[in-house]
């Protein structure tokens, strides 16, 4: 028997179907060893940055099972993912199990042909790839420990910083400063509704956007009195070239804009499609398509759309370190137009299929038309009407959503008279630059060379988990905590969080992977000056004072001035005489009340009284001896006071109550923690007719909907209700 080891159980299940009885396929279930979570000494600096690994908690049984099977096997093959992390996992499995000269194979798609081909070309574990991953892990640990330790001392306990996350936070913060500094300017748009002889109503727009109201009134006055006609028609034939197949970053961007998926969700769905054998490996920066894949696409395009639609394209690589031996993200079987275990997987697969097929098709031919109109003997600006029509759809045939909503124009001629039906103006203001969305940030990180395909989603998730950013209507907003941390790093460590330095370090890690640099020298060149800079900053004063507050806000206790500080709940105003005076206000200037004694003895420690405090999410009752005693009273009366009166559909005992958490207001059962049922919006009291779940109130932008995400009533774009939910609905 031969033993083949992969990371994922679902991947193991797929591969085992291909290989038959001679193979036993098992999964390591991700990493089995890692650096200890809270021990910087796990890295021996003097010995040359040698890491000391420990078994990941809960993986002891996995290691024991692999050892048992390896002992019974004639041959052990490591088939983890085809990237640095996969190489590192293969090495850790080999070390932890004690394998002697295991074979290593890689494949970029989980198909029978690819796996069998890989088995015919085994190799040993690539030391350079493994060292590149180890260097990244050690670097992140060293930077995280040194910077986080300093921030704990100088800003606030519990905060942290990272080698790649900190530059990403800086980029978000730079955009926020641009928005704050932006000064809007007023302008007017002027439109004229004109009618041609064929009775077509056409909306022309003034080519100039005046900033002076007097000029606006003059244009309107002249325009309403004059005789309108077409003064010019310009037609331009343009070619719209197809886009390159997806790489990781472009998949993030299009899955966000078309499907509304966050990068982390996109990668989760893509991982499942990959493990099921539907798509090639989803962490790649190569736009290359293999010869066999190109041949299959050619055959499909010619048979499905016709000979004239096919055209072979080779796309320039976006990253100078892109490995052309790897492929872009594409379907493993191009003839399969629909795949995936659920609706979201199917939509993502369709997106990948359309992009892959259209990348090898003819350019679309578009006729763009600009019609210019004005009044006779005019002193006012021209008015324009733009339109376009598709002469040849080309690659848009396979990807119709890529076609813009074209304005189809009637047949018009120069000199033709037009009748004015209406003319008006609208006052507007220039807008500040938009905040980054998750997909927009990924695009910016890729552009600046920060991070790699495997890290984009984790960078954003880390910033969210640390409460450095909030996602509001898809836009990334820095929190008060994120702003303070970024300001501190930008002031004291500008070099280490700069674009050039971070991108250069990524290139050095790539050099290690290619064998052009050594592990020890790379880490030493970075860490020696970095550690010295961190030690030098120990002399910096503690950054608790974030500047003076507005003079109108006085201390509610002593009447002195106030300063801005950062607390666990964000920024607040503190008396400038602190700690002699402990007066405080919210950042908006509202007075903060101190703890109020309830007169009850703490049931946990029996030493302190219970007091009512105001926290980030409202009032709560806890022991006055906090943090020595961390007892918090379950405030059932408060929960019932906030009750909506709608009964809980799960436990049938409690009521749905308004609460506030880290991500804002939500509604949960008053019987918590015995019942953990919760929904995002206020329940209406109505029951969904399709699935039996609670209906939720609508907003200005979201209609009333079901609380069950899998129900079509939750999202009007959902497809068929799953069979299990159909039974529930009945």
- 145, 274, 281, 672: the catalytic one is 281
Buried/exposed code over 377-412 (b: 16+ C-beta within 10 A; e: otherwise) = ebebeebebebbebeebbbbbbbeebbeeeeebeeb
pLDDT of residue 406: 58
pLDDT of residue 682: 85
pLDDT at 102 over 80: yes
The residues pairing with 386 across neighbouring beta strands, listed in sequence order, are 370
- State mean pLDDT over 257-279: 91
Highest mean pLDDT, choosing among 10-24, 423-437, 444-458: 423-437
- State mean pLDDT over 26-35: 91
pLDDT of residue 717: 42
Q: Coil, strand, or helix at residue 552? A: coil
- State mean pLDDT over 255-259: 90
pLDDT at 701 over 60: no
| Residue 728 pLDDT level (bands cut at 50, 70, 90) | very low
pLDDT at 574 over 80: yes
Contacts 24+ apart (CB under 8 A), 296-300: 296/334, 296/335, 297/334, 297/356, 297/357, 297/359, 297/360, 298/360, 300/334, 300/335, 300/357
| Residue 532 pLDDT level (bands cut at 50, 70, 90) | very high
pLDDT at 359 over 90: yes
Buried/exposed code over 426-436 (b: 16+ C-beta within 10 A; e: otherwise) = eeeeeeeeebb
Compute the C-alpha angle 47/53/55, nearest 5°: 165
pLDDT of residue 727: 45
| Residue 730 pLDDT level (bands cut at 50, 70, 90) | very low
C-alpha 79/C-alpha 23 separation (Å) is 13
pLDDT at 344 over 60: yes
Mean pLDDT computed over every residue of the chain: 86
Q: What is the pLDDT of residues 299-335, one digit of tens each?
A: 999 999 999 999 999 887 655 544 445 789 999 999 9
Ranges 171-180, 313-322, 605-614, 635-644: which has the least confidence = 635-644
Residue 27 token pair: 């999964």
Compute the C-alpha angle 404/408/414, nearest 5°: 130
pLDDT of residue 636: 52
Which single residue is written with the structure tokens 């029509």?
389
DSSP structure class, residue 661 = E
| Residue 607, φ and ψ in degrees, nearest 5 | -115, -40
- State mean pLDDT over 587-606: 80
- State mean pLDDT over 22-43: 85
User: What residue ranges define each of the domains in the chain, with the CATH number in brackets?
Assistant: 2-125 (3.40.50.140), 159-181+441-539 (1.10.460.10), 186-240+369-392+411-429 (2.70.20.10), 248-358 (1.10.290.10), 562-632 (no CATH), 637-729 (no CATH)
- State mean pLDDT over 632-645: 64
| Residue 663 pLDDT level (bands cut at 50, 70, 90) | low
Q: Is 436 a catalytic residue?
A: no
pLDDT of residue 334: 94
C-alpha 196/C-alpha 410 separation (Å) is 9
What is the percentage of the chain residues whose pLDDT exceeds 70?
91
pLDDT of residue 209: 94
- State mean pLDDT over 32-40: 80
- State mean pLDDT over 600-612: 85
pLDDT of residue 198: 79
Neighbours of 626 (CB within 10 A): 15
Residue 570 token pair: 């964000």
pLDDT of residue 90: 95
pLDDT of residue 414: 93
Q: What is the pLDDT of residues 646-656, one digit of tens each?
A: 888 888 888 88
Q: What is the pLDDT of residues 468-483, one digit of tens each?
A: 999 888 899 998 888 8
The reported pTM is 0.73
| Residue 722 pLDDT level (bands cut at 50, 70, 90) | very low
**3-state per-residue secondary structure call for 583-641:** CEEECCCCECCCCEEEEEECCCCCCCEEEEEEECCEEEEEECCCCCCCCECCCHHHHHH
DSSP string for 359-393: TTBPPEEEEEEEEEEEETT--SPPEEEEEEEEEE-
pLDDT of residue 692: 76
Q: Are 373 and 418 in contact (CB under 8 A)?
A: yes
Residue 177 token pair: 């400063």
Nearest to 330, CA basis, from 386, 377, 288 = 288
| Residue 720 pLDDT level (bands cut at 50, 70, 90) | very low
Q: What is the pLDDT of residues 510-519, one digit of tens each?
A: 899 999 999 9
DSSP structure class, residue 394 = G
Ranges 247-261, 270-284, 440-454, 696-710: which has the least confidence = 696-710
């Amino acid at each position: 028997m031969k033993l083949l080891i992969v990371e994922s159980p679902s991947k193991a299940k797929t591969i085992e179907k291909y290989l038959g009885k001679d193979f036993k396929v098992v999964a390591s279930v991700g990493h089995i060893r890692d650096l200890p979570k809270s021990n910087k000494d796990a890295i021996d600096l003097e010995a040359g940055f040698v890491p000391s690994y420990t078994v990941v908690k809960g993986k002891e049984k996995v290691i024991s099972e692999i050892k048992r099977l390896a002992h019974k096997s004639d041959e052990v093959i490591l088939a983890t993912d085809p990237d640095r992390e996969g190489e590192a996992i293969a090495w850790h499995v080999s070390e932890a199990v004690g394998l002697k000269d295991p074979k290593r194979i890689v494949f970029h798609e989980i198909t029978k042909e690819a796996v069998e081909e890989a088995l015919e070309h085994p190799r040993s574990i690539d030391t350079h790839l493994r060292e590149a991953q180890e260097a990244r892990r050690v670097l992140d640990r060293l930077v995280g420990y040194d910077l986080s330790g300093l921030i704990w001392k100088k800003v606030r306990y519990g905060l942290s910083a990272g080698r790649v996350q900190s530059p990403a936070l800086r980029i978000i913060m730079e955009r926020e400063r641009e928005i704050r500094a932006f000064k809007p300017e007023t302008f007017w748009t002027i439109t004229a509704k004109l009618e041609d002889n064929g009775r077509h109503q056409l909306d022309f727009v003034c080519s100039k956007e005046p900033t002076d109201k007097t000029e606006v009134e003059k244009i309107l006055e002249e325009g309403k009195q004059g005789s309108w006609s077409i003064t010019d028609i310009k037609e331009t034939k343009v070619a719209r070239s197809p886009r390159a197949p997806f790489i990781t970053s472009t998949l993030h961007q299009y899955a966000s804009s078309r499907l509304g998926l966050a990068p982390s969700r996109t990668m989760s769905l893509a991982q499942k499609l990959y493990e099921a054998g539907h798509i090639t490996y989803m962490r790649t920066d190569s736009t290359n398509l293999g010869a066999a894949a190109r041949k299959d696409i050619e055959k499909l395009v010619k048979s499905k759309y016709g000979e004239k639609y096919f055209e072979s394209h080779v796309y320039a690589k976006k990253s100078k370190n892109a490995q052309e031996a790897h492929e872009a993200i594409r379907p493993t079987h191009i003839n399969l137009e629909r795949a995936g275990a659920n609706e979201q997987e199917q939509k993502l697969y369709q997106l990948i299929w359309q992009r892959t097929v259209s990348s090898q098709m003819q350019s679309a031919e578009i006729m763009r038309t600009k019609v210019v109109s004005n009044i006779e003997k005019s002193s006012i600006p021209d008015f324009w009407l733009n339109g376009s029509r598709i002469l040849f759809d080309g690659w848009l045939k396979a990807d119709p959503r890529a076609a813009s909503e074209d304005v189809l124009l009637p047949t018009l001629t120069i000199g033709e008279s037009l009748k004015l039906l209406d003319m008006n103006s609208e006052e507007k203001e220039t807008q500040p630059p938009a905040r980054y969305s998750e997909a927009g940030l990924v695009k910016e990180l890729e552009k600046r060379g920060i991070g790699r395909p495997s890290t984009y989603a984790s960078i954003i998730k880390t910033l969210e988990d640390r409460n450095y950013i909030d996602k509001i209507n898809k836009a990334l907003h820095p929190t008060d905590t994120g702003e303070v941390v970024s300001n501190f790093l930008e002031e004291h460590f500008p070099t280490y969080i700069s674009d050039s330095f971070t991108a250069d370090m990524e290139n050095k890690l790539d050099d290690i992977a290619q064998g052009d640099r050594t592990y020890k020298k790379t880490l030493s060149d970075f860490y020696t000056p970095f550690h010295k800079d961190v030690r030098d900053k120990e002399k910096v004063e503690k950054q608790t004072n974030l500047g003076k507050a507005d003079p109108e806000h006085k201390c509610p206790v002593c009447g002195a001035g106030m300063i801005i500080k950062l607390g666990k709940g964000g920024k607040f105003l503190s008396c400038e005489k602190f700690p002699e005076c402990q007066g405080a206000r919210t950042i908006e200037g509202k007075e903060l009340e101190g703890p109020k004694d309830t007169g009850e003895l703490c049931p946990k420690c029996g030493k302190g009284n219970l007091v009512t405090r105001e926290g980030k999410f409202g009032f709560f009752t806890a022991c006055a001896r906090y943090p020595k005693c961390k007892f918090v009273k379950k405030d059932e009366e408060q929960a019932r006071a906030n009750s909506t009166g709608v009964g809980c559909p799960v436990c049938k005992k409690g009521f749905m109550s308004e609460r506030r958490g880290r991500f804002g207001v939500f509604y949960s059962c008053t019987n918590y923690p015995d019942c953990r049922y919760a929904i995002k919006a206020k329940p209406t009291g109505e029951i969904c007719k399709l699935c039996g779940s609670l209906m939720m109130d609508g907003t200005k932008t979201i209609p009333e909907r079901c609380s069950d995400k899998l129900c079509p009533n939750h999202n009007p774009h959902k497809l068929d209700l799953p069979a299990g939910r159909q039974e529930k609905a009945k």
